[in-house]
């Protein structure tokens, strides 16, 4: 069940994150997509902690911790007007998710690997 929750959150977060990176910053659309993306990212990261295909945590779970830290820091930063920190946190969380998704797809034994191969 955890894998399905994870996939239902991560797939739209990958799309919304890419859209927000491409959009003009600070607009109402950017803010709305960003809020939705942030929630999806936290669901993605938290749900991933319950997915242990080897029976224990893997190095990919480090990206979950990155996201769980970066999303709140990024939100707090933008509310305080720290655009630079906000940008670094959100971009880092997105890039980490893209890297994790890539390795999940190309690593034998993982659920998503079986779907694509």
One DSSP character per residue, the chain reads: -HHHHHHHHHHHHHHHHHHHHHSPTTSHHHHHHHHHHHHHHHHHHHHHTT--TTSS--TTHHHHHHHHHHHHHHHHHHHTT-HHHHHHHHHHHHHHHHHHHHHHHHSTTSHHHHHH-
Q: Which domain holds residue 37?
A: 2-116
pLDDT value of position 54: 77
Q: 31 and 74 in contact (C-beta within 8 Å)?
A: no
Residue 113: is its pLDDT beyond 80?
no
Task: Give tens-digit pLDDT for 50-104.
Answer: 988 778 888 888 999 999 999 999 999 999 999 999 999 999 999 999 999 898 8
Rounded CA gap, 64 and 48, in Å?
A: 7
Rounded CA gap, 87 and 101, in Å?
A: 21
- Among residues 83, 77, 78, 51, the alpha carbon closest in space to that of 64 is found at 51
Q: What is the average per-residue pLDDT within 12-28?
A: 96
**Percent share of the chain, pLDDT over 90:** 72
pLDDT value of position 56: 85
Residue 14: is its pLDDT beyond 90?
yes
Query: How many domains, the chain?
Result: 1
pLDDT value of position 60: 84
- Among residues 5, 8, 32, the alpha carbon closest in space to that of 19 is found at 32
């Amino acid at each position: 069940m955890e894998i399905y929750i994870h996939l239902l959150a991560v797939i739209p977060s990958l799309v919304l994150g890419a859209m927000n990176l491409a959009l003009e910053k600070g607009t109402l659309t950017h803010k709305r997509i960003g809020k939705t993306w942030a929630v999806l990212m936290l669901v993605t990261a938290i749900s991933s902690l319950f997915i242990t295909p080897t029976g224990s945590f893997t190095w990919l779970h480090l990206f979950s911790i990155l996201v769980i830290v970066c999303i709140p820091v990024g939100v707090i930063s933008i509310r305080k007007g720290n655009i630079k920190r906000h940008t670094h946190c959100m971009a880092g969380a997105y890039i980490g998710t893209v890297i994790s998704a890539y390795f999940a797809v190309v690593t034998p034994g993982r659920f998503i690997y079986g779907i694509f191969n």
